[in-house]
Structure 1
Amino acid sequence: MTDSLLFSSLADGPGVPSLQQQLLERFKQAILDGRLAAGERLPSSRALCEELQVSRNTVLAVYEQLVAEGYALADRQGTRVAPLSLLPRGSDKLARTLPKTPAMRATPGQSRRMQTMALTRDAGDRSLPLTPGMPALSRFPLNAWLRAQERALRRAPPLVLGYGEPLGEPALRSAIAQYLRVARGVRCEASQVVVTEGAQGALSLCVRLFSNPGDTAWMEDPGYGGVRTAFHAGDLKTVGMAVDGEGIVIPDRLWRTRPARLVHVTPSHQYPTGAVLSLARRLSLIEQAHRAGSWIIEDDYDSEFRHRGHPVPAMQGLLPEAPVLYVGTFSKTMFPALRIGFLVLPESAGEGAYPALAELLRGGHRLEQLALAEFIASGQFSRHLGRMRRLYRERQKALREALDAHLEMEHEVLGGDSGLHLTVRLPEAYGDIAISAAARAAGMNIGALSSFSASGAQASSNGLVIGYGNTSEDQFLPLIQRLGGILRKAAR
């Protein structure tokens, strides 16, 4: 442990980060720089709090967050630095050739594309309880949103009714960039932000700008069906990569023999299993993508809702010039009908991408964008997120209790620290497709885990995806009791 980490005092006063955040950043930087070696044991929380004159709870919270983000491992003997596959020092200056923006060109085969769209899973009736990914719409502060709309409309000149900036309203792009820098650790300026028609619009832009028909694209398996749709629409060869408890698993030989042009990942909360991509795999993925000239699509769809510790920072901000296309959405934090998402382009890709974006986009929904910028700037967005974090934490707890009470068969609950859903892995005897259909007929919109598989139903992907965002706490016990009855019948 270096003296500068142990003995230099932490700053205190107005306008500076909290003591906990300062100490966390010191540890993370020391681990990434190699000053703290893999396997090195961190000092006891009691010793460190005495040296730095901070509370023991502060040190314990820092250690817990280091473990959550994959920088450290905890065991009975204490906390030690995790083994990581680090990029060489000075990696921000690596000489490399970035993928160039391809020329836009039309391709035939519309009927084939239409057929591939049928591969996307059926979302069912999203108004039903237990719908995965659906936020608590009844808790959205409509009055505050109406005031933001009114202020935006009053301030807007008549020209706002015309076409806007192709990349989105400057006020919203600035608000998004500032939020991402503070809340998600994303390295970006407003000029790198592109406002899109939801996250799906951002995924489609990634495909159109950074791949050619026939290229290979990798996605998590099981994974988000929307990215499969975007890849198929771009005539890409889509290959599913297995997911385990540390996120996506990409064999090294594939990087050497058949590297992908695009790699889609949900590193902060894998969809639908809930795994967090480990730090070692994040760094390895960035390094391999650097070497292969690939682009990583980081889909950060619901990272704001972490129910234990602090949110896991975005992969995009780990290293300068990482080849990451960062995708986000307001569908979970606000409401789905808003249809506003965004794409953060790497600075190195902007020069080639912006002329194409000016042709592809026309700049619409200007009043909604201005209202959202006002909603964020006024502090309403942050206050709403705080309320929703508390609500979803309680709803997840209620769902877990109901599952414990009424799921009698052997099962495994996944994805407990973040998001708006839990995934329940089931034995093969309980066919999830049939159970999901029976649950919908009984008034519950529960997803089948195997339907998220890029390669078709698998024994390893048999289970149920159960949302809790749109369901009140008093509903979980009777609903899961009803589900338990469906499962008992399925086993006969």
Structure 2
Amino acid sequence: MNESELHSLLLAPLLPEGALTLQQQLLQRIKQAILTGALSAGTPLPSTRQLAADLKVSRNTVTGVWAQLQAEGFLISDRQGSRISPFAQPPSSPNHDVSASDLLLPPRVAQLRSNHRPLSQEMALRPGVPALAHFPLAQWRRTLNRVMQHQPQQLLGYGDPLGEPALRAALAQHLALARGVRCTPEQIVITEGAQQALTLCVSLLSQRGDIGWVEEPGYRGAKAAMRLGDMRVEPIQVDAQGLAPQTRDWQQRPPRLIYNTPTHQYPTGVVMSAPRRMALLATARQHQSWIIEDDYDSDFRYSGEPIAAMQGMMQPSPVIYVGSFSKTLFPALRIGFMVLPPQLLALLRPALHELLRGGNRPEQQALAQFIHSGDYSRHLSKMRRLYRQRQTSLREALLLTLGTQTSLLGGECGMHLVLRLADTQQDTEVVERLMASGYAPGALSGFYLGEEKQQGLVLGYGNSSTSQIIAGVARIAQCLDVK
């Protein structure tokens, strides 16, 4: 575009403000010219002062447009002036409609797309969903109403960025008694689910290129959080005693963060042994690594006493303890938490105050009362009995339908079992067929990062009735062609 054409484009009169402001009109005009190729990469633009005078508009109008163009990557401004960004290239064929198959996505995005399944919580055998129909909704509603009746206006504003003090106090007491976690209420940070806690750990404790260890197989949400933080995600094998890092792993790929589910490994269900835990704690402290202990469903243990959290085994501890109420109450509550070591709390508090705003205040206050009243403990006890019965139904149906050679993983805790399949069977294909019939187990191979993957089905029984479990197992037998 020559100088005369550029002058005509930029100085065409702006319409009186209507649906679009003068700034919006000018912004759309320039962006459209860039996208269609009328303004090519490197084209110099006049100064904001000159263009504002020529258009007879406020200079703030033009500087606002320039700032937005810079923010969107269309414009570069430096000592030489402002010019069109070299990245703002129009498509080679403007009339070509680009289909989804034409788009090239980063490998990690393609992997997420391949793992994605449009699931409904009502689908039977879906892992990770509690028994929603058995939640004491009337008690919860009364508690929430009581909170809103006593302090409605106070709870409409911003709260403590780290969470409601009442909930943090209730949690500290509960975690000490039920999970063996050693902390004060001040060490607890309330988050929007456990996933936000994982994302905060990555963003606050790592830099681009740092190494993050994840269990192999392991929770996809932890891998997603690390990838979001541009960490180098390294899988560490899980054996019968849990996460099993070797000496060469510490030497060749020392981690900044270690994601671990020691009390009920997800998805295999193994429990990390005490010697393995102590070794991990000691070596992590030696290497200045932080362990993220995700205690996602250990409240539901069916034999013996609950296994205490790893966080309480060593003081000072290099552990950030993470949990939520998505499994114990209901996922839509979106309340999670992390327990920070004292040495981290003082360092991270200013950043947390900048990042968090203390939301869901009525729900947090209600949850604090729900815990203090004993309703929470009673609900957990009820759910343990229900899930134990449903797991028994699932085991019996699998053994009866598939035979005594059935190989199962897990079962001492939680809301899922893993049915191992032969290496010749593709679990993803089995899952596709089951989903078409209204069942939504997970494919075990989807929890691996490496090439060596076990085949299996992650069968959730938390939100599945006995009749759904029996029917689902019958459908599994059909998909596996069991006679």
TM-score (norm 1): 0.75
In the alignment, is the contact (CA less than 8 A) between 1:120 and 1:228 conserved in 2? no
Number of matched pairs: 381
Unaligned runs of 5+ residues in structure 2 are: 1-70, 74-104
CA RMSD after TM alignment: 2.0
Shift of residue 125 of structure 1? 2.7
1:148-184 deviation line (CA, Å, top 9, x unaligned): 1011112225131011110011111111111001100
Residue 132 (structure 2) aligns with: 137
SS of the aligned residue for 2:268 comes to coil
The amino acid across from 2:398 in the alignment is L
1:111-149 deviation line (CA, Å, top 9, x unaligned): 869837726832533320111011000000000000110
Residue 122 (structure 2) aligns with: 127
Residue 291 (structure 1) aligns with: 286
Residue 481 (structure 1) aligns with: 474
Q: State the distance in 2 between where 1:291 and 1:332 align.
A: 34
Residue 86 (structure 1) aligns with: none
Q: State the distance in 1 between where 2:441 and 2:362 align.
A: 35
SS of the aligned residue for 2:190 comes to strand
The amino acid across from 1:118 in the alignment is L
Give yes or no for the alignment of 1:214 onto 2:209. yes
1:63-106 deviation line (CA, Å, top 9, x unaligned): xxxxxxxxxxxxxxxxxxxxxxxxxxxxxxxxxxxxxxxxxxx9
Alignment counterpart, residue 258 of structure 1, candidates 253, 257, 269: 253
TM-score (norm 2): 0.76
SS of the aligned residue for 2:323 comes to strand
1:53-72 deviation line (CA, Å, top 9, x unaligned): xxxxxxxxxxxxxxxxxxxx
In the alignment, is the contact (CA less than 8 A) between 1:120 and 1:226 conserved in 2? no
Give yes or no for the alignment of 1:311 onto 2:327. no
In the alignment, is the contact (CA less than 8 A) between 1:395 and 1:472 conserved in 2? yes
* Closer, same or farther: CA 140–231 of 1 in aligned 2, 3 Å: same
Give yes or no for the alignment of 1:378 onto 2:373. yes
After the TM superposition, which of the residue ranges 116-125 and 250-259 deviates more from structure 2?
A: 116-125
In the alignment, is the contact (CA less than 8 A) between 2:427 and 2:457 conserved in 1? yes
Shift of residue 479 of structure 1? 1.8
Equivalent runs, 1:381-392 vs 2, <5 Å: 381-392=376-387
SS of the aligned residue for 1:253 comes to helix
Residue 280 (structure 1) aligns with: 275
In the alignment, is the contact (CA less than 8 A) between 2:241 and 2:271 conserved in 1? yes
Shift of residue 455 of structure 1? 2.4
1:9-42 deviation line (CA, Å, top 9, x unaligned): xxxxxxxxxxxxxxxxxxxxxxxxxxxxxxxxxx
Give yes or no for the alignment of 1:233 onto 2:259. no
* Closer, same or farther: CA 119–203 of 1 in aligned 2, 3 Å: farther
In the alignment, is the contact (CA less than 8 A) between 1:121 and 1:225 conserved in 2? no
The amino acid across from 1:358 in the alignment is H
SS of the aligned residue for 2:237 comes to strand
In the alignment, is the contact (CA less than 8 A) between 1:423 and 1:466 conserved in 2? yes
Alignment counterpart, residue 420 of structure 2, candidates 417, 425, 428: 425
1:205-248 deviation line (CA, Å, top 9, x unaligned): 11011111110000001100100110000000001111111111
Alignment counterpart, residue 466 of structure 1, candidates 434, 455, 459: 459
Residue 345 (structure 2) aligns with: 350
Residue 364 (structure 1) aligns with: 359
In the alignment, is the contact (CA less than 8 A) between 1:164 and 1:366 conserved in 2? yes
Residue 56 (structure 1) aligns with: none
Residue 268 (structure 1) aligns with: 263
* Closer, same or farther: CA 462–409 of 1 in aligned 2, 3 Å: farther
The amino acid across from 1:482 in the alignment is R
Q: State the distance in 1 between where 2:475 and 2:253 align.
A: 47
Equivalent runs, 1:148-163 vs 2, <5 Å: 148-163=143-158
Alignment counterpart, residue 431 of structure 2, candidates 415, 431, 436: 436
In the alignment, is the contact (CA less than 8 A) between 2:406 and 2:419 conserved in 1? yes
Residue 452 (structure 1) aligns with: 447
SS of the aligned residue for 2:424 comes to coil
Between structure 1 and structure 2, the one with the greater Rg is 2
Q: State the distance in 2 between where 1:388 and 1:247 align.
A: 26
1:239-287 deviation line (CA, Å, top 9, x unaligned): 1111111111111112123210000000000000000011111000001
Q: State the distance in 1 between where 2:240 and 2:406 align.
A: 16
Alignment counterpart, residue 394 of structure 1, candidates 373, 389, 402: 389
Residue 182 (structure 1) aligns with: 177
Q: State the distance in 2 between where 1:403 and 1:118 align.
A: 30
SS of the aligned residue for 1:118 comes to helix
Q: State the distance in 2 between where 1:183 and 1:263 align.
A: 24
Overall identity of the aligned pairs, in %: 49
Shift of residue 410 of structure 1? 4.5
Task: Return structure 1 stretches of 4+ with deviation > 3 angstroms.
Answer: 111-114, 408-411
Q: State the distance in 1 between where 2:248 and 2:261 align.
A: 22
